[in-house]
Amino acid sequence: MSQTDRNNGDSLEPNSGTSGHISHARDPHDQEEGRTADTLIEADGLCRPSIGARLRVQESPHAATDRFNNIKAAVETILQSVGEDPYRPGLLDTPKRFAKAMMDFTQGYGQDVRDIVNNAIFNENHNEMVLVKNIDISSLCEHHLVPFTGKMHIGYVPNNRVIGLSKLPRIAQMFSRRLQVQERLTRQVAETIVETLQPQGVAVVMESSHLCMVTRGVQQYSAVTVTSCMLGCFETNDKTRNEFLSLVGMGSGR
Is 233 catalytic? The answer is no
Is 210 catalytic? The answer is yes
Is 62 catalytic? The answer is no
Out of 107, 198, 212, 220, pick the active-site residue: 212
**Number of Cβ atoms within 10 Å of the Cβ of 85:** 11
At residue 54, what are phi and psi to the nearest 5 degrees?
Answer: -65, -40
Out of 13, 33, 124, 142, pick the active-site residue: 142
Is 142 catalytic? The answer is yes
54 vs 183: CA distance, rounded Å: 23
* Residues 143, 182 contacting (CB under 8 angstroms): no
Task: Give Cα separations from 86 to 48, 78, 81, 89, 222 (angstroms).
Answer: 37, 9, 10, 8, 34
Out of 182, 188, 200, 235, pick the active-site residue: 182
Is 13 catalytic? The answer is no
Out of 210, 229, 233, 243, pick the active-site residue: 210
Closest by Cα among 21, 22, 87 to 229: 22
Out of 47, 141, 229, 233, pick the active-site residue: 141
Strands 201-210 and 147-157: antiparallel
- Catalytic residue numbers? 141-144, 182, 210, 212
